[in-house]
Amino acid sequence: MNQLVSVGTSHHVAPIEFREKLAFSEEQLIESLQRLRESDQVQEAVILSTCNRVELYAIAHSVRNADAAAKMLVEFLAQYHQMSVESLKKWCYLHHNFGTVQHLFRVTASLDSMVVGESQILGQVKASYNRSRAAGAVGTVLNRLFTKAFSVGKRVRSETTITAGAVSISYAAVELAKKIFNTLEGKTVAILGAGEMSELTAKHLVANGVSKVIVANRTYARAVKVAEKFNGTPLAYDSNLDFLMEADIVISSTDAPHYLINRQPLADIMRRRRHRYMFLIDIAVPRDIDPDVSKVDHAFLYNIDDLEAVVASNLQDRQQEAVQAERIVAEEAKRFYNQLQVFQVNPTIKAIHQQFQQVADTELQACFYKTALSDQQEAAVASMTQAIVKKLLHHPMQNLRCAVNDGDADHAQYVQALQELFELDVNDDNSEL
């Protein structure tokens, strides 16, 4: 029986130093999905990679249990990112079957986010799902799972006020900037990378008084597009950091595999600008700014983990709404998983009925060939044979369905045993799910 499993890490369990090692670039995501598709053990897969989490969801087959499936995924991630399985296990979590469903629903409901109630995660999960589907890695089960997850996320947002008074990374950045500069009036912000998060942060800064925006991006057209939103100045980034001479606040969010701002070049710029305060926000994973930049006089560097403490102090008002959201997630996860279990068992039940019926039909034809029976007699014998097949299978199949409905943990072993004992050709078509 196929197993629904997930393996991942997030800001809850791992520092940014580990998460950036496990992060996937756009190209790596496509390559990884292709590798997984070519594997004999993975039937479907979705990879979610954001600044706060990296998670792999999969339908694994040719394995006897969920533990074996999870072990296979851990080994894949370790091999792909060239790290030991032991180091990966230290900072990762595993979810099997129902646990995977519930975890994904909590993620899309933003209950597992650094900022409970934030709105970006739902779009990020959708983008990851669409990317995996375009790569041909999504089949019937993950399609239904993720579609349901999006529905649950929307239900939580519509039936609770968990997003009211949104507290975000952008909010945290503004609060820290105010503490450093006292006022943001007349300040200049430089955006390096022009990603969605940096654009949102810049929007909050401008709303709080920042007067000038500089956008530096490797793709100049993208820089122009973002700069137009703030009546700002676009630049084509080419490793020249002179644009930082004017910047009071720097927001960096690119997918570069190496540091774009290092200690010594920034120290040189700080000297040239006579050590005017500079506030740097590195919200990229992997990081864009060398951590040693924090040792430069009058340079204040914060990465995405550093902002968590600021966010945490502003979340108390959301806790009651989070309790209601958790109830919704638990209810939806249980309902969906029960449906999934039933429909995963149905192909096996269908296959064993077909096999018994084929045997019965074959023997009937042999009997009719050797015996001179009237049409009425043949019909009676055929009807009796079908009744025997149904009665022989009724109680075993009923007990199997009851095991699923009652949450019996052994039902997967029952299904596996049936498939092996009767050598069933099972078509795992869950199109009705």
**Domain check: are 181 and 298 in the same one?**
yes
Residue after which a domain boundary falls, among 165, 198, 215: 165
Checking if the pLDDT of 51 tops 90, the result is no
**What is the reported pLDDT for 432?**
41
402 is catalytic: no
Q: pLDDT tens digit string along 267-302?
A: 999 999 998 999 999 988 899 999 999 999 999 999
Q: Is residue 326 part of a domain?
A: no
**Domain check: are 10 and 74 in the same one?**
yes
Q: Is residue 55 part of a domain?
A: yes
Contact at 8 Å (CB) between 141 and 430?
Answer: yes
**Domain check: are 393 and 414 in the same one?**
yes
**What is the reported pLDDT for 41?**
82
**Domain check: are 223 and 135 in the same one?**
no
Mean pLDDT for 212-221 is 93
pTM over 0.85: no
Mean pLDDT for 340-349 is 76
**Domain check: are 148 and 193 in the same one?**
no
Q: Is residue 433 part of a domain?
A: no
Q: Is residue 350 part of a domain?
A: yes
Q: Is residue 432 part of a domain?
A: no
Residue after which a domain boundary falls, among 165, 191, 224: 165
**Domain check: are 68 and 85 in the same one?**
yes
**Domain check: are 257 and 397 in the same one?**
no
Most confident of 37-41, 44-48, 375-379: 44-48
Checking if the pLDDT of 406 tops 70, the result is no
Q: Is residue 147 part of a domain?
A: yes
* 286 cis-preceded (ω within 30 degrees of 0): yes
Q: How distant, in Å, are the alpha carbons of 73, 128, 232 from that of 70?
A: 5, 20, 48
**Domain check: are 31 and 154 in the same one?**
yes
**What is the reported pLDDT for 191?**
92
**What is the reported pLDDT for 69?**
79
Least confident of 257-261, 370-374, 376-380, 403-407: 403-407
Q: pLDDT tens digit string along 140-149?
A: 899 999 999 9
**Domain check: are 105 and 16 in the same one?**
yes
**What is the reported pLDDT for 255?**
87
User: What is the number of other CB atoms lying within 10 angstroms of the CB of residue 282?
Assistant: 28
Catalytic residue among 51, 92, 367, 402: 51
Query: What CATH code is carried by the domain that includes residue 255?
Result: 3.40.50.720
**Domain check: are 160 and 211 in the same one?**
no
Q: Is residue 258 part of a domain?
A: yes
Residue 355 to residue 349: CA distance in whole angstroms: 10
| Helix, strand, coil percent values for the chain (each to nearest 5) | 55, 15, 30
Number of domains in the chain: 3
Residue after which a domain boundary falls, among 269, 293, 312: 312
Q: Which domain holds residue 352?
A: 346-421
The DSSP annotation for 378-429 comes to: HHHHHHHHHHHHHHHHHHHHHHHHHHHHTT-TTHHHHHHHHHHHTT------
Confidence of residue 165 (pLDDT cuts 50, 70, 90): low
Q: Is residue 215 part of a domain?
A: yes
